[in-house]
């Protein structure tokens, strides 16, 4: 298995910092903004961004977890049903600005399902998408991200592996060639 490093720990910290600054540019004091991390892997990134924003803005910024499993369009088209994770949205999103956060943007189908799932909690004023890695020219739906950590050229046979550490010291992002 061939592995290629896309982002190392130091660069990743810089990237996260830039993404936070971009969010602050557009959302100011986060008066009516909420963050929604997409299960299962977007929540670690969302936690990181929330912690960072909280320390910069000196205020608590609401963060929820959203699982889109029951809204996926490939149910009954795969052998086994996808396993759901926890959804926790402890606030109303009616009239709020929502930032959806995920680690990798690939076909766009998860994001479509997430938009669908999100509507069950109200009608937001505006929805934005933040991703760490945007795989270029792989979209199957007209979806694009508003905030991107890094654009990467990939093949369908490749996989992006995001390894985020609990203490955020040893984070790496790899591009892997499948066998």
Partner 1 sequence: MPRLSQPHLLGIKNITRDDIELIFETADNFKEVINRPIKKVPSLRDVTIANVFFENSTRTRLSFELAQKRLSADVINFTASTSSVKKGETLLDTVNNILAMKVDMIVMRHASAGAPHFLSRHIKANIINAGDGTHEHPTQALLDAYSIREKLKTVKGKKVAIIGDILHSRVALSNIFALKKLGAEVLVCGPPTLMPKYISHLGVKVEWDLHKALAWCDVANVLRIQLERQQLKYFPSLREYSLYYGITKKTLDKLKKDIVLMHPGPINRGVELSSDAADSHHSIILDQVQNGVAIRMAVMYLLAGAQS
| 119 touching partner 1, by CB under 8 A | yes
51-90 footprint of partner 1 as x/- string (CB under 8 A): ----------------x-xxxx--xxxxxxxxxxxxxx--
CA–CA separation, 94 vs 109, rounded Å? 24
Closest distance between partner 1 and the C-beta of residue 112, in Å? Answer: 12
| 96 touching partner 1, by CB under 8 A | no
CB 175 within 8 Å of CB 158: yes
14-53 footprint of partner 1 as x/- string (CB under 8 A): ----------------------------------------
CA–CA separation, 68 vs 94, rounded Å? 19
Q: Compare residues 64 and 149 and give the one whose CB is closer to partner 1.
A: 64
Q: Compare residues 121 and 147 and give the one whose CB is closer to partner 1.
A: 121
CA–CA separation, 19 vs 29, rounded Å? 15
Q: Compare residues 80 and 166 and give the one whose CB is closer to partner 1.
A: 80
Question: How many alpha carbons fall within 13 Å on the CB side of residue 20?
Answer: 20
Closest distance between partner 1 and the C-beta of residue 88, in Å? Answer: 8
Q: Compare residues 60 and 73 and give the one whose CB is closer to partner 1.
A: 73
Beta-carbon neighbour count of residue 33 at 10 Å? 20
Which residues 6+ apart lie within 8 Å of 48 measured at CB? 16, 164, 168
Closest distance between partner 1 and the C-beta of residue 159, in Å? Answer: 20
For partner 1 (CB under 8 A), the number of binding residues is: 26
Read off φ and ψ for residue 67, nearest 5 degrees: -110, 130
Among the listed ranges 7-15, 104-112, 117-125, 155-163, the one in contact with partner 1 (CB under 8 A) is 117-125
CA–CA separation, 158 vs 106, rounded Å? 11
């Amino acid at each position: 298995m061939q592995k290629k490093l896309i982002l190392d720990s130091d660069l990743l910290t810089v990237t996260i910092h830039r993404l936070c600054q971009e969010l602050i540019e557009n959302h100011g004091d986060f008066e009516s903004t909420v963050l929604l991390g997409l299960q299962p892997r977007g929540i670690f990134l969302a936690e990181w961004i929330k912690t960072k924003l909280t320390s910069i803005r000196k205020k608590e910024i609401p963060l929820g977890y959203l699982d889109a499993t029951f809204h996926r369009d490939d149910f009954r088209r795969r052998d086994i049903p996808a396993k759901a994770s926890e959804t926790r949205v402890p606030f109303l999103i009616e009239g709020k600005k929502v930032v959806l956060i995920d680690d990798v943007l690939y076909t766009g189908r998860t994001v479509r399902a997430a938009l669908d799932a999100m509507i069950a909690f109200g009608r937001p004023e505006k929805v934005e998408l933040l991703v760490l890695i945007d795989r270029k020219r792989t979209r199957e739906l007209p979806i694009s991200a508003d905030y991107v950590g890094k654009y990467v050229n990939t093949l369908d046979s490749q996989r992006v592996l995001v390894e985020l550490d609990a203490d955020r010291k040893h984070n790496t992002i790899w591009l892997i060639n499948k066998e």
